[in-house]
Chain A
Amino acid sequence: MNSEPLADCVHCGFCLPTCPTYVVSGQETESPRGRIYLMDLAARGEISVDEAFGGHIDSCLGCLACVPACPSGVRYDKLIESVRPQVEREVPRGFADRLFRRLIFALFPYPNRLRLAALAGLLYTRSGLRTLLHRLGVVERLPSRLRALEALLPPVGLQALFSSVPEMTPGRGEVRLRVGLLAGCANRVFFGDVNAATVRVLAAEGCDVYVPRDNQCCGALSSHAGHEEDGAERAKATIEMFERYRLDVVVANVAGCGSALKEYGDILSGSPDFAERAKAFSAKVRDITELLAELPARTARAPLDLRVAYHDACHLANAQGVRSQPREVLRSIPGLSVHDIAEAELCCGSAGIYNLVQPDTAEELGRRKAENLQATGPDVVATANAGCLLQIRRFLDEGITVVHPVQLLDASIRGVALFATADLNAKTRERR
């Protein structure tokens, strides 16, 4: 890897308190400063890229909380993304680890496969098998990764599983923008309601909304896990897909996907065919809350009498620098109060596939996040990322609903009670 950016680190340690794995373990090697130090030693050939090294790179959530915290301007995001492929290449993984990772990458980026898996999950839950296995203590004896997979199964209904939004929804009144929405892969399967709410809100605010049907995974999972080539191929396909619609803006309502779309310009900077197109594409990408904060509101908003605890998704706050916009959007709803939480910069442990491959650390972080959220006494927890929604729901007390901010805005614009249609609050309790 390139050792130049490594030299920017002056070892001051300002990143330490923002790093979730350091906060949990207290271990230098589990901190950005420690990881950069090891990367530097590896780049100089003083240490080998072995299992111990790889373990500390794998354990990084990639939440990037250390990036805004760094006074020296170290681009840890670039460093970790450039060392991950090296670990993938040079550190042999055990059979079970390889198999589990292959399963994840063969499942999550493919909505149809995921839908089948979700259907199996639905049968598993509804048939009473899940309750039975929990009662028998079988689930408790599963390896922690499988247990995490089981616990994260979202309580999605049959109808929601096969719902989809139209390819084109015309904007109401005079049309202000042509907006493309990335339906996502896991998002489309598990959070169809979030997509539906996004489309309704955009249309109500005078945007023509295009949702390409042939949407594949945008490559976020691959790029953030060190699978460079796969990430680049998926980026190209996504760019081509959206180019067909001649859009003013491309919107993401999943923070992880949005941050990947914004990185396309960097990811493809070396590709002769795509460098310019990728740059132009990335410049059009907005998170849904970013766009809504930019557009002067046209719609009337009915009051929602709710206390909302807002959780900053790492890939929104740290990777995209979007912090104030979601709060502004929420505060535009009369009657609703937004509450910031303690340790806001600490990741909830979701982090892409992290809660599946590093379940123990993820669980500790999830519990900590839930405690901090609950301390504000909220009716609702809002966060703008599918992974966080799944992760946080797993650890919250009964009676607190977890939603995407756009769902609250949608309810307010339509003047309906929250979740008149959504089954998001149909939380299954038996698995906890």
Chain B
Amino acid sequence: MTGDVRAEFVAALGADAVLADPVELRAYECDGLTGFRVVPALVLLPRTAAAVADAVRICARERIPFVARGAGTGLSGGALPVANGVVISLQRLRSIIEVDPVNRRAVVEPGVTNLDISRAAAPHGLYFAPDPSSQQVCTIGGNIAENSGGAHCLKYGFTVHHVLSADVVLPDGTTAVLGADSPHLGGYDLLGAFIGSEGTLGIATRITVKLLPKPAAVRTLVADFPSVEQAGDAVTSIIAAGIVPAAAEMMDAVAIEAVQAALDAGYSRDTAAALIVELDGPQAEVDIQFAEVRQLCQNHGTTNIRVAGDEHERALVWKGRKAAFAAVGRISPDYIVQDGVVPRTLLATALTRIGELAAAAGLRVSNVFHAGDGNLHPLVLYSEAAGELERAEELSRAIAELCVDLGGSLSGEHGIGTDKACSMPRQFSEDDLATMALLRAAYDTDGICNPGKVLPTPRLCGEKPGVHRPHPLEAAGLIERT
């Protein structure tokens, strides 16, 4: 990058918004997935949406690749910088512009944390439903990029179900508004395509989200089981009984050990699996279903049921669950958080197979997962110092691909990012991938917007560069490249 371009960024954004010191740049070389590291050429910290557009316009003109970054908590390397590219951090766009209790919505900037939206809505008895485990840190901009879920998406859905509209800066530096206040629009769902695009279609700078009224009643229990399989069967029976829990989460013995070491959230240490079930809704409904859930847990051999007696105990159960990934740092020097989905009925099979893969690799795997929708988070424990990184990455990849083989998917909520781009052909046909590439190219003609993420590239996956193969629709003359 030339000094002139750098000076132009400084002129457009201000000197304190451009980081170029080699030491400072190193702090941005990775996100929450530290195994992948690339030092960017510059880090930009714009303060306004207009400044974001200015920065992207310069990038587009100069064909400089850029990567948007929120809180850097992502676990798939979605905010991994590009060498010679710039990182655009949205951490200075942190205003809650409006909370509108009458229409039950809030307008926020992308750097606002997920939890701060709920905090701002709380005085009105409202909250923002998606609740990723990192909700106190991760920002709504990143939630949109990854289409984040969380423990409660079993009942309430993902980020895509809770965003009404977004002002975005497109990869050419122009701006657009996707979606609208009305939830029912005709035509193609451009906002839907943008949410979950992992920062490859542009940067959201102003977001209108839906707020939900807090449920009248919430009840939470933790049931211990002598095996993960029995806990899995209990979940299947709960769903089969027609109950939609707000959340159904499971932790195995290793995860429980870590959580208890971190903060004593009251989990039993001598059990193979702990199942958290939370019900919410009108009091009468919750009471009836709660009794049913207890009975179903007993039918499947629970050894102990702990009911959260008050809001404080409930918060502690969740604090423990949500800190589980990071708490594993106490029992292992390094670990990879995997994220895959299997059909709920195959939970037990998947866990057995993961156990076998781990044994073969000679590494420990801990399982923390959203049992209700079959979204697994196996944590591969390893020590980089002991030279186990490569083996751990291989095991992690094998687990993700196992999920696909069982009829599930590569990612439940953490995204494909850098980590799983090479596994995409496992799940999608070449035609699927080519169609996705066409969609992406419609927004990002020059390939400068978070390149290298989501779709496999030869550079990334060690494939041989091949001759371009036209998409069947192209071959049929129905569409053409511009």
Q: Is the CB of B111 within 8 A of A26?
A: yes
Interface string of B1-37 (1 = CB under 8 A from A): 0000000000000000001011110111010101000
Say if the beta carbon of A29 comes within 8 Å of chain B. Answer: yes
CB distance from A323 to the nearest CB of B (A): 15
Say if the beta carbon of B176 comes within 8 Å of chain A. Answer: no
Interface string of B260-273 (1 = CB under 8 A from A): 01110000000000
Say if the beta carbon of B440 comes within 8 Å of chain A. Answer: no
Q: Is the CB of A28 within 8 A of B136?
A: no
| Residues on the A chain within 8 Å of B22, using CB | 47
| Residues on the B chain within 8 Å of A71, using CB | 262-263, 323, 325-327, 329
Say if the beta carbon of A324 comes within 8 Å of chain B. Answer: no
Q: A37-B27, A50-B23, A72-B330 are in contact. Are A14 and B34 (CB under 8 A)?
A: no
Q: Is the CB of A8 within 8 A of B329?
A: yes
Interface string of B345-373 (1 = CB under 8 A from A): 00000000000000000000000000000
Say if the beta carbon of B89 comes within 8 Å of chain A. Answer: yes
Say if the beta carbon of B94 comes within 8 Å of chain A. Answer: yes
> Which of B24, B32, B45, B113 is A12 in contact with, Cβ under 8 Å?
B32
> Which of B71, B91, B134, B326 is A27 in contact with, Cβ under 8 Å?
B91
| Residues on the A chain within 8 Å of B335, using CB | 10
Q: Is the CB of A72 within 8 A of B26?
A: no
Residue of A nearest to B47 (CB): A26
Q: Is the CB of B329 within 8 A of A14?
A: no
User: Measured between alpha carbons, how far is A52 from B23 in the docked complex, in Å?
Assistant: 7
Say if the beta carbon of A303 comes within 8 Å of chain B. Answer: no
Say if the beta carbon of B333 comes within 8 Å of chain A. Answer: yes
Interface residue total, chain A, C-beta cutoff 8 A? 31
| Residues on the A chain within 8 Å of B323, using CB | 14, 71
Say if the beta carbon of B307 comes within 8 Å of chain A. Answer: no
> Which of A16, A29, A37, A47 is B71 in contact with, Cβ under 8 Å?
A16
Residue of B nearest to A69 (CB): B136
User: Measured between alpha carbons, how far is A16 from B114 in the docked complex, in Å?
Assistant: 13
Interface string of A60-82 (1 = CB under 8 A from B): 00000000001111100000000
Q: Is the CB of B19 within 8 A of A13?
A: no
CB distance from A360 to the nearest CB of B (A): 11
Say if the beta carbon of B72 comes within 8 Å of chain A. Answer: yes
A36-74 at interface with B (beta carbon < 8 Å): 37-38, 41, 46-48, 50, 52-53, 56, 70-74
B331-349 at interface with A (beta carbon < 8 Å): 333-335
Residue of B nearest to A9 (CB): B329
Say if the beta carbon of B92 comes within 8 Å of chain A. Answer: yes
| Residues on the A chain within 8 Å of B438, using CB | none
Say if the beta carbon of B396 comes within 8 Å of chain A. Answer: no
| Residues on the B chain within 8 Å of A37, using CB | 26-27
> Which of A26, A33, A50, A56 is B92 in contact with, Cβ under 8 Å?
A26
User: Measured between alpha carbons, how far is A71 from B24 in the docked complex, in Å?
Assistant: 25
| Residues on the A chain within 8 Å of B27, using CB | 28-29, 34, 37-38
Residue of A nearest to B113 (CB): A17
CB distance from B88 to the nearest CB of A (A): 12
Q: Is the CB of A12 within 8 A of B330?
A: no
User: Measured between alpha carbons, how far is A34 from B262 in the docked complex, in Å?
Assistant: 22
Residue of A nearest to B329 (CB): A72
Q: Is the CB of B137 within 8 A of A16?
A: yes
User: Measured between alpha carbons, how far is A26 from B45 in the docked complex, in Å?
Assistant: 8
Q: A26-B45, A26-B89, A37-B27 are in contact. Are A13 and B137 (CB under 8 A)?
A: yes
Q: Is the CB of B262 within 8 A of A13?
A: no
Say if the beta carbon of A101 comes within 8 Å of chain B. Answer: no
Say if the beta carbon of B423 comes within 8 Å of chain A. Answer: no
Interface string of B102-137 (1 = CB under 8 A from A): 000000000101000000000000000000001011
Say if the beta carbon of A11 comes within 8 Å of chain B. Answer: yes
Q: Is the CB of B94 within 8 A of A26?
A: yes
| Residues on the B chain within 8 Å of A11, using CB | 30, 32, 34
Say if the beta carbon of B73 comes within 8 Å of chain A. Answer: yes
| Residues on the A chain within 8 Å of B34, using CB | 10-11
Residue of B nearest to A27 (CB): B45
Q: Which of A10, A14, A74 has the most CB of B within 10 A?
A: A10
CB distance from B380 to the nearest CB of A (A): 13
CB distance from B95 to the nearest CB of A (A): 12
Task: State the 8 A-B residue pairs at the shortest beta-carbon distance, nearest first.
Answer: A72-B329, A26-B91, A71-B326, A71-B323, A10-B329, A12-B326, A34-B27, A26-B92
Residues of B within 8 A of A (CB): 19, 21-24, 26-28, 30, 32, 34, 43, 45, 71-73, 89, 91-92, 94, 111, 113, 134, 136-138, 261-263, 323, 325-330, 333-335, 385
Residues of A within 8 A of B (CB): 7-14, 16-17, 26-29, 33-34, 37-38, 41, 46-48, 50, 52-53, 56, 70-74
- 19 A-B pairs with CB atoms under 8 Å apart are A11-B32, A12-B32, A12-B325, A14-B134, A14-B137, A16-B137, A17-B113, A26-B89, A26-B92, A26-B111, A28-B28, A47-B22, A47-B23, A52-B23, A53-B23, A71-B325, A72-B327, A72-B329, A72-B330
